[in-house]
Structures are given as structure tokens and as C-alpha cells.
Amino acid sequence: MKFTLIICIILAESFFGEVGGQIPECTESDLHYTYTECDADKSRWRVYVPKSNTKCYVGSPNLQFRGLPVLGLEKKWIKSEGDCSVTRSEYTERVQTPAVYKLPLLLYSMLLGCCYVKMSNAVYIRINKSCDAGRYLDVAGDQDCIDCPAGTYSVGNGVRYDQWDSLPKEFTVVSNGLRLSLKSLSKAQCEASVDTWVAQGPYLEGVPSDCNKDLSITTELITDGSLTIRYRNTLDMLGIVQIDMKPGKNKITFSLLGLNSAAPGNKFIIQSIEIKGMGFSTECTPCKPGFYSSIGSSHCTRCGANTYAPLSRSVSCKDCKEDEFSPPGAKECKPRPPCTESDYYASIAPCVNGTTYETYQWLDNKYCNDKHADSVILPKSGGSKECPSCNPGESLADDGTCEYCPEGQSSDGSQPCESCPIGTEARKSKTFIHFDVMPSGLYPGCIKLADGGSFCDKQSTWVPKGDYIQVSDDIRALDFAVLNINNSHFANRTLDGRVYGKLVIRFNLTCDPADPCIFYLMQEDSVELRVVGSWNATTTTVYMHNFTSPDVKLISIAFRKSSKAANYLSSNTLSISELRLINTVSGGATECTPCVLGSSAAGEGCHSCAVGEIVVTNNVTNKKVCKKCPANYIAQDSFTCIPCGPGLVNNEDHTMCVSDCQFAYDGMKFDLSSLSG
């Protein structure tokens, strides 16, 4: 006991000195029950100690808590070998505490901040298994598993990290010394560089950095457990990885390899990290503001749009007032701003007899106040107007919509489709330069990262503006506006050498330097979806990309207005005035081009003449026509006839020169036609 007293004095001196000697006595609210580590016979002791970060000393040994003495030491007998978790009691038997446990438990109590321990009778409890998700171990009561109160949640025998307003205190970010760029940086410079891991509210984002930094967490498992990570790589679909872990201390480290500060398109998004096998939960985790839960919940539910939860431990969400709004997961409502022209969009009815009309409607996620004095008025439906032009490669169909030209025909979009002339071919493409309506070959949508990466199929995420198409205000911070072009594959004939297809995009990107946005251009083949271009600063340009493989199934454009969850109404935007996907197998031809001859795919789709004919121009009509090669001439290609040599004539098809079987020598003529063939 002398050794124990010395330790107690040393800890007490340190403890008292920290607050200048003014240490209050602990009250019931300052203390809580907890368990010691497992001992040699797989047992635990329950001790009553000050809560973490509580500065007080335990004075009275008779302080009661739920009818139990403070600092009562109780030994828990675990039936299952190797399992030291505590959950459900089946029977209780009081015996005298063995002396062998008094000294270790006294030391443990002092290390937790206590300086007084009252030895009492022990309670032996048989243990079954850990508490299920949505329940916790009532360590201060009868030590049974009970449901979490409404407004809280529990994952059972573990912990889940899925709210990333800041990096949880259990995580550390340390530079591992690995340089991911060619810059010559010292260790100190790496430590001071931009963090690789950034908390974004609904998710944790791995961002490019010149120096790689590891994200680590150390946890101690009581039983066999697991690590489950829900993640996204750029805009891939949500992925889940589960790794088994053994009992004991486990250090989990996340490292990003292959990132570079010059490649803003490469990012790694962690939705949640869940660790199981920690034994038991002695309390439930409160839902943070903007979330709520019911009794016995294993997770908190985000408040929907235009609702809010101002406090933690909320059991429901409140509705915003009529002149207020809120994004999902809000803890307060904000005044609705006046409506502007960006808050509505026009729809054009199908053409009938060459005329159409416009209707106007508010965006689906309307956050503006149309009753505000400064608000614009939603335009009324307009009168009849001339039908807008179709896009090149299309023509107006009988039902008033635009459709691609049939095989072997082309159009500039303003005229009906016409057959390609002789000696030309209709090379297909998907061309978009008119945006009076949403073109039929474009597929708008969005990806809501705050909702686990769910995809929405919504026309209103992009607004047609006539000469261009623009991301609408339906898209808020952290979400991606997506625009897809489907492409089964490119034509087998190459455009130039190894180039099978080409993408041309003319766009205007507006990004506030203080409010970062990101624009990705991606292609998907049978293997992966990968970024082929990315921009994160104000840019106006025409970008061209060559595809060296015919196996490209999808072109995807994705734009995130802001990386700051708080900037819900960001003014960053992206508009596109031209999109061309060239040499496709579907779509329509914008023009007829000369047939490609001499290639391995010559003649595919080519509107050519019959065998032995060539293409010539009719002097009267100025149109291309087919003409048979004259006698003793053969067709060298689609445009040229060449003569046969002496003693040779053309065959019936004018495709080759053959002998006429007539032979003259020394004034004599010989007819060998009977030997022909």
C-alpha cells in the first residue's frame, strides 16, 4: 500500500498543480462507470471515475449513484474464452472481493484521475454477447442492453464516422515523406503544405498535394472485428471495402498514391468509416444539429430540404417558415432570396405545322421567394413562334420533334435529310449547337454526394438557353451536375491514323478563386471511367480530345459548383455552347464526305458506283453521276479510268485488262481465240 500511496501523491500533485490547487469535490454528474482492461482470467472490474476532461477529486466514499456506492469494484466473469465484452447479466452472486485484485484496481482508478477507492463486495456476471446496433450497455444500472434514446444512435460493438464537419479527434494526419511532384521540398515544407485530407461535411475528401500525408486512427478491439469503408473515386459509383481485423491494438492508415497537385481531377472521397469489434458501447452517440433519430436507431437521419434541427439529440425536424429555406442537414433556416431569371426555365412544346410555343416553370428545388418585392415574375406562356432549328445531323419529324437522319443521308439541321451523292459517305456524329430545348441525345442528371452518391435523373439540372446550355441553380454546393452522351462505340474506320473518334467542346467556366469549383470531362470504356480533362479556374476555351480506341461507351461531363458545404447558393457556373462527338456508329451525318479508299474498311457506308463505273460531274445538273469506262479502259478507282496496253482489252466488268487472243508476226496474223479461257 505504500507504493500505491506514493503514486497517488504524485498524481495528486500533478493534478492539483494544473489548476492552481482549486480542485472541487466530484459530484454525481462528474462521475461515470467504466470497465478496466481484461485481466489474466478474462475478467473486468467496474470502476466509478471522473469523466474525461473533468477536474475534480473524489471525496466522500458514500456518494450514491443509482443506489450503488461510488467507486464500488465489481468483477465480471466472462464465460466465452477470448471475449471480454460486457453486455447482459443472467445471475448475480455477491462474494468478498479477492485481495489479489485490490492493488491493481486501485492503481487503475488513480491513473484515471481518482485518488480514493472504496473496496466493496464484487458481483459476478455471466456474459453472452455484445449489444446490437441501436442499443447500448447500461453500465451504471443493471448492465443490460437497452435501446438508445431518441435523438441518439449506436452501431453496437463499434464506432462509425460519417459526419465530417471537422476531422474527428481520433484521427491524425502526418506527412509520410513521400513527394508526389517533381518539386524539391523539404520535410518541413511538406508538413506545412496543404492537407491531403479535407473534411467536407457529408464526406472526407482526399485532395491532391505535393506531399503525401497519411490519415491514421488507432483502435483497440476486444473481439474479432472489421473495418468497413464506403468511398468514391472521383465520380465512380459508391464502393464498399470490408477488412477483417484481429483483437488487440490496430493502427489503420490511409495513404493516397498517384495524386499530383497538377491533376485536380484525381480525388478520393470517403463517405463513412465503421469499426466493429470494440466490445460494447456504454453510451449512445448524440445526433448532431441537422439530424434526428428515433428510439433504438443505428444511425441519424439527415433533415430534408426546407426543414431543420437546431439542437443535438433532436427527435424530429422542424419546418422552415414560408419565406425561409434550408438545404438538407440544416441546423437553421435562412431567408429566401428574391427570384431571378436563373430560378426558372423554359420548355418548348413539340412543333405543329412549323410552329411551337414556350412554357415557363420554376426549378424543382426552388429556394427563392417569388413574393419578394425584388423578385422577377414568372413569364406567361408565349404565343406561337417558328420552330427552332434541329441540330446538324437531324431533321424535323412528323411529330414535331428532331430525329437523326437515316443511313446514307445528311442534314445541316435546317433542311430535310438528303441522300449522299455518288462517291461520298455519311459519316455519323452527335452534334449539339442549338439549345432551345434539351437535345434528345444529351442525358442530364446529378450526383448527390451528401446522400451517399445517389444519382438523380433530372432535366432541370441543366437549363437550355438557346445558344448554350447552363448548369441550373437546382445544383447546390458539393453536388455534381452531370451531362452524359451515350456512345456504343466509334466506327471501325479511323479518322486519322490511330484516331477513331474526336470530341470537341466549347465552354465557359466561371469559378470564384475564394469559392473553388471543379469541372471534369470523362470517358468510360469496358474497363473504367477515367478523367481525360479537368478545370478548376475561370476558363473560356474550345477543347478537343482524340480517342485512340473504338471502345468508348460514354462521355460524361460533371461540374461541382462549390467545395464548401456552407456556400449553398454558390454563383459559380458552367455553360456549354458546342458539343461534337465525331465518327460515331449512331447519331446523324452533318455532311457527306468523299469515300475513303484503300483502307481496310473501304466501302463501309460509301454510296459508290457499280463495278467498272466511275463518278463524274454532270455538266447540266452539276451533280455527281456514274459512268461506264469506255472500251479498252478499266476503272482504276471510283474517279479514274485507265487504258489497257497494246494487245489488251477490257473484260466485261471493266475491272481488268485481258489479251484479245490476236497475234501478228512478220506480216502474218494468228487468231488464238479458241484457246481463250
Range with the largest mean pLDDT of 349-353, 413-417, 446-450: 413-417
pLDDT, mean of residues 325-341: 89
Residue tagged 467498272 (cell numbers): 612
Q: How far is CA 63 from CA 15, 25, 28, 60, 118, in A?
A: 21, 11, 7, 6, 11
Q: How many CB atoms lie within 10 A of CB 151?
A: 22
Q: Residue 263 is placed in which grid cell?
A: 491533376
Q: Is the dihedral of CA 285, 286, 288, 293 positive or negative?
A: positive
* Position 507, amino acid: F
Residue 648 backbone dihedrals phi, psi, to 5 degrees = -120, 150
- In order of their start, the domains of the chain are 2-129 (no CATH), 157-279 (2.60.120), 422-588 (2.60.120.430), 611-671 (2.10.50)
251 pLDDT exceeds 80?
Answer: yes
With pLDDT > 70 as the criterion, what percentage of the chain qualifies? 72
Q: Which has the minimum average pLDDT: 2-11, 264-273, 458-467, 572-581?
A: 2-11
- Distance between CA atoms of residues 135 and 139, nearest Å: 12
Cα–Cα distance between 236 and 524 in angstroms, integer? 10
Per-residue pLDDT, averaged over 104-120, amounts to 34
Residue 213: its pLDDT value, please?
74
Supply φ then ψ for residue 4, to 5 degrees: -60, -45
Distance CA 68, CA 49 (A): 13
- pLDDT, tens digit, for every residue of 182-197? 455 556 666 555 567 8
In angstroms and rounded to an integer, the radius of gyration of the C-alpha atoms of the chain is 38
**Residues written for the chain:** 677
Extract the runs of DSSP E, i.e. beta strands, from 595-661.
606-607, 613-617, 624-628, 633-635, 641-643, 648-650, 657-659
CA distance 636 to 11: 103
Compute the distance between CA of residue 216 and CA of residue 219 in angstroms, rounded to an integer: 10
Predicted TM-score (pTM) of the model is: 0.65
What average pLDDT does this structure show over 258-279? 69
Separation of CA 120 from chain center = 57
Q: For 504-558, where are the alpha helices, taking DSSP H only?
A: none
Q: What is the pLDDT of residue 431?
A: 95
CB 585 within 8 Å of CB 491 = yes
- Give the percent of the chain with pLDDT over 90: 21
